[in-house]
Chains A and B, each alone.
Chain A
Amino acid sequence: MLEMSKTVSWLTLLCVSVTVRGAPAPICPHGHPGCQAISLADLFDRVIQHSSRMHGLSSDLHSEFEQYFIPNKIQIGTRRCHTSNIVTPNGKENATKLAEEELTEVILKLLMAWGEPLAQFHESMTQHADYNIYSSNKALEMSDMVYELRNGVQKVAEKMQLLGIISNLLNGQDFLEGLDAVDSSEIFSVDYPNLLHCFRRDSDKIQSYLKILKCRILPENGC
């Protein structure tokens, strides 16, 4: 059932991602000459918008859940997330020091790591009679967005590779599979407040990394 939902969501997300691109211009498969491609800047903008939206949703859900589960000080200090083992730059300097490829990798890793847990979170939410429909919808949207964003960032990475900005990442499929392998071994917490707290943090990370990446690859005024 999960796999069914997964495939269904994949399909819907593919469609949605196509529509999300939104532009009347057709999607160019792997840089096919002659078709009207979306510029990298537009891609980045779209992806950053997505990540902001995702972060906003996670923040909303977290504050909603915090009403029911108020953590004490100790809990805040000792929180563990299932993505804690992913090495992420912890500051602006660290992030800027990181290579673009690595930064992209980190982003993708994070996105990969959160796909499954959020889907499960949404499922369990719908099963509970206590949770209201708005939170459930937000959770669903959040879960979908993770997949969308993953596809988007992959497209960005491909584009960057095409343009020669970054060296070839690991072959797309293998890379993803490698990430998947990392994922499945992790036992993510079913503790929802903790889960939401973790995701809130990670979505902030993703957003910030994407912004830094864009600033570095497409230097504009002030970057």
Chain B
Amino acid sequence: MERKETLSLLCVLVCVWTQATYTQGSTKVPEDFTPEPIVLPHFTSCRSREQETFRCWWSTGSLANLSEPGALAVFFHQNNLMPIGWQECPDYTATVENECYFNKSFTHIWTSYCVQLRATSQNITYDEYCFTVENIVHPDPPVGLNWTLLNVSRSGINFDILVRWAPPPSADVQTGWMSLKYEVHYRVRNASHWDKLEQESGSQQSIYGLQTDKEYEVRIRCKMSAFDNFGDFSESVFVQVAPIPTKVSVFPMALLLVFGVVGMLFLLVLIIFSQQQRLMVILLPPVPAPKIKGIDPELLKKGKMDQLNSLLSSQHMYNHDTYREDPWVEFIQLDLDDACEKNENSDTQRLLGLTRPGLKGDDDSGRASCYDPDFLPDTEGLLAAHSEMEERHPLVSESSPSTPSPELAETPFFPVQSQPVSQSWINMDFYAQVSDVTPAGAVVLSPGQQNDTPSKNPVDKTKKEEEEAGKEEEHEKKMKLQLLVVDPDRGYSHEVIARQVESSGAPFCSAPEIAYHTLPPEPAEEPHGWHGEYLAPDGEAQMAYFLPEAPPASMLPPVSDYTVVQEVDDQRSLLLNPSARQSPACPPNPIKHLPSMPAVPVGYLTPELLENLSP
């Protein structure tokens, strides 16, 4: 197969080559023999101008013998109902060479014609051409082309003109025999490209967007509607408009611009000056003062207690979790390493805060403790340590064991138990209740919360032990109201978590030995460290109370709530809930009612406030 293909290819190549050589050879024929392409006589065109007559033209070609006049004849044939046959040209135009003219009588529209060019002497037909008359109509060019200026643009650069014309006179437009469409061309003079406008059937058209500095040439031609044969172009018309000098001067524009800029600047300056302060704030925002979230610091300083109370109660300030991480809680360090008996008393006393000249209330800690000064020396009666409270307790902390006295002394405040109050913020646990102080110096916090953090040192262990025991107790007796009266003369401000607390009643003073009630009876004996009080976060757990009598842990009354200072008696002891004093066992103390403070709001009890409270 491949062989055959190659063979055929070779043959083709050979043939081509031979032909090429042959042609080459043929071209090498001497010059006298110059073959010219022979042109036979043929029709050049047949045209009708007005669809009523038509003409045909032909060319004699290159044959010399046929160029004589009369050598050729034109015959035509009409394809209509009357088959006449071939007829010779009715009129050979005398003035024009090689033209045959068919007048109206011979012109039948919508009839197909065939014309033949024949030699007169021989029976040879050189050319034949068939057509219908309506298809060979080339209208005459329109006449009367003129233009008028429509307008000149403001800038004087462009102008528009309206071009008018009249239909060719030969075309019978009035009767509607011929319906014409016109096409206008225009160009910049001597340019190569003509611009065309859309064909119109009217007798005028506008040309837009011409430029004043150029000269234009306009011409027009027409054709029959629905046919494709354009006639010749009309004579060109030249259009030129002199550019109008612009009267608009630059001066007003510049002035306007200057005015505009000045106005803007003025406005800007005005704005800046009027809104100076705002701008300053925006640009250089003031450093925000520290404040409690959601609480106006002004209110804290000057607000009323009830407002503050409501505010703080609505806040979740005493959030259990946040307070857990609060570092300042743990400022009290239990000096566990120094744990020795010799510090026992001092520790105890410190814890109890009885003989603390240097006792200062911690500003941040809230203390509501109640203890009986008789029971102070009893270390065992101290509160069970509550590990949780320890963390929360501002006074009891193990992070710095090396800080003895004042802080430690400040620890034993016994939060006053209170009935669980529905207020939500009571759920705080940031105050730990020191329930006991072990001889080793460990502070036992009262158990109050179930979720205790793991203890960090042996103190915690003991605390936990106590705590567990205390929890049992606590569950039994929840409502214990205890008060730790703190000498307000110490002059420290302490947090007062004052709240309306309702003591449980009988058990409140049921353990008189434990004496969780107000401390006042022998204030002179031991100037207590302070008067502080707590309000238990809630009724759940807080049980921190001071047992001066060293009651067994099981007997620890389950103080779990902090209560609000309701009254301050004449001995400057703070009474938490005067209404709960129903049992006669309670030491009757002349109580001075706090001046219209049913609910002491949570907050710092400033010295001024304390003065109000004190008798």
Interface pair B177/A211, CB less than 8 Å apart: yes
Using CB atoms, name the residue of chain B closest to A197: B132
A135 interface residue per 8 A CB criterion: no
Binary A-proximity of B113-124 (CB < 8 A = 1, otherwise 0): 110000000000
Contact of A212 among B111, B131, B175 (CB under 8 A): B175
B282 interface residue per 8 A CB criterion: no
Residues of B within 8 A of A55 (CB): 225-226
Interface pair B132/A211, CB less than 8 Å apart: no
Residues of B within 8 A of A73 (CB): 114, 128-130
Contact of B225 among A52, A91, A205, A212 (CB under 8 A): A52
Residues of B within 8 A of A78 (CB): 79, 112
Interface pair A92/B174, CB less than 8 Å apart: no
Closest CB of chain B to A156's CB: distance in Å? 15
Contact of B110 among A59, A201, A211 (CB under 8 A): A201
Residues of A within 8 A of B130 (CB): 73-74, 76-77
Contact of A214 among B111, B176, B228 (CB under 8 A): B176
CA distance A223 to B246 in the complex (A): 51
- Interface residues in B221-238 by Cβ distance below 8 A to A read 225-228
Closest CB of chain A to B225's CB: distance in Å? 7
B134 interface residue per 8 A CB criterion: yes
A48 interface residue per 8 A CB criterion: yes
CA distance A177 to B446 in the complex (A): 123
- Interface residues in B1-34 by Cβ distance below 8 A to A read none
Closest CB of chain A to B50's CB: distance in Å? 9
Interface pair A222/B174, CB less than 8 Å apart: yes
Q: Assess A90 versus B175: contact at CB under 8 Å? Given A52-B225, A73-B130, A204-B226.
A: no
Contact of B227 among A59, A202, A211 (CB under 8 A): A59
Interface pair B110/A88, CB less than 8 Å apart: yes
Interface pair A77/B114, CB less than 8 Å apart: yes
Interface pair B226/A223, CB less than 8 Å apart: no
Interface pair A223/B79, CB less than 8 Å apart: no
The residue among B80, B104, B108, B109 with the most chain A CB atoms within 10 A of its own CB is B109
Interface pair B176/A212, CB less than 8 Å apart: yes
Q: Give the secondary structure class of B's interface.
A: loop
Closest CB of chain B to A75's CB: distance in Å? 8
Interface pair A201/B177, CB less than 8 Å apart: no
Using CB atoms, name the residue of chain A closest to B115: A77
CA distance A93 to B105 in the complex (A): 9
Interface pair A90/B80, CB less than 8 Å apart: yes
Interface pair B226/A56, CB less than 8 Å apart: yes
A171 interface residue per 8 A CB criterion: no
- Interface residues in B548-578 by Cβ distance below 8 A to A read none
B77 interface residue per 8 A CB criterion: yes
CA distance A28 to B402 in the complex (A): 122
B172 interface residue per 8 A CB criterion: yes
Using CB atoms, name the residue of chain A closest to B111: A90
Interface pair A221/B175, CB less than 8 Å apart: no
Interface pair A222/B179, CB less than 8 Å apart: no
Closest CB of chain B to A56's CB: distance in Å? 5
The residue among B110, B113, B129, B226 with the most chain A CB atoms within 10 A of its own CB is B226
A208 interface residue per 8 A CB criterion: yes
Q: Assess A90 versus B174: contact at CB under 8 Å? Given A76-B131, A201-B132, A204-B134.
A: no
Residues of B within 8 A of A52 (CB): 179, 225-226
Q: Assess A223 versus B174: contact at CB under 8 Å? Given A55-B226, A76-B131, A204-B226.
A: yes
A6 interface residue per 8 A CB criterion: no
Interface pair B79/A79, CB less than 8 Å apart: yes
Closest CB of chain A to B603's CB: distance in Å? 88
Residues of B within 8 A of A90 (CB): 80, 108-111
A84 interface residue per 8 A CB criterion: yes
Binary A-proximity of B160-190 (CB < 8 A = 1, otherwise 0): 0000000000001011110100000000000
B390 interface residue per 8 A CB criterion: no
CA distance A77 to B175 in the complex (A): 29
CA distance A73 to B114 in the complex (A): 9
Closest CB of chain B to A72's CB: distance in Å? 9
Binary A-proximity of B386-417 (CB < 8 A = 1, otherwise 0): 00000000000000000000000000000000
B52 interface residue per 8 A CB criterion: yes
CA distance A202 to B172 in the complex (A): 20
Residues of A within 8 A of B228 (CB): 63
Q: Assess A201 versus B134: contact at CB under 8 Å? Given A59-B227, A88-B110, A91-B109.
A: yes
A166 interface residue per 8 A CB criterion: no
Residues of B within 8 A of A212 (CB): 175-177
CA distance A135 to B528 in the complex (A): 114
CA distance A174 to B131 in the complex (A): 38
- Interface residues in A182-222 by Cβ distance below 8 A to B read 201-202, 204-205, 207-208, 211-212, 214-215, 220-222
Interface pair A76/B175, CB less than 8 Å apart: no
Binary B-proximity of A58-73 (CB < 8 A = 1, otherwise 0): 1100010000000001
Interface pair A92/B177, CB less than 8 Å apart: yes
Residues of B within 8 A of A93 (CB): 104
B64 interface residue per 8 A CB criterion: no
B309 interface residue per 8 A CB criterion: no
Using CB atoms, name the residue of chain B closest to A58: B226
B614 interface residue per 8 A CB criterion: no
The residue among B107, B177, B227 with the most chain A CB atoms within 10 A of its own CB is B177
CA distance A55 to B134 in the complex (A): 13
Residues of B within 8 A of A223 (CB): 174-175
CA distance A59 to B228 in the complex (A): 10
B292 interface residue per 8 A CB criterion: no
The residue among A63, A85, A215 with the most chain B CB atoms within 10 A of its own CB is A215
Binary A-proximity of B86-111 (CB < 8 A = 1, otherwise 0): 00000000000000000010011111
Q: Assess A211 versus B176: contact at CB under 8 Å? Given A77-B114, A77-B130, A84-B81.
A: yes
Closest CB of chain B to A88's CB: distance in Å? 7
Interface pair B112/A92, CB less than 8 Å apart: no
Residues of B within 8 A of A207 (CB): 179
Interface pair A92/B175, CB less than 8 Å apart: yes
Residues of A within 8 A of B81 (CB): 84-85, 87
Residues of A within 8 A of B114 (CB): 73, 76-77
Interface pair B107/A91, CB less than 8 Å apart: yes
24 A–B contact pairs at CB < 8 A? A52-B225, A63-B228, A73-B114, A74-B130, A76-B112, A76-B130, A77-B79, A77-B130, A78-B79, A84-B81, A87-B81, A92-B51, A92-B52, A92-B172, A93-B104, A201-B134, A204-B134, A208-B109, A211-B175, A214-B176, A215-B175, A221-B174, A222-B175, A223-B175
Extra inter-chain contacts (16) besides given A55-B225, A211-B176, CB under 8 Å: A55-B226, A58-B226, A59-B226, A73-B128, A76-B114, A76-B131, A77-B77, A77-B79, A84-B81, A85-B81, A92-B51, A205-B110, A207-B179, A208-B177, A222-B174, A223-B174
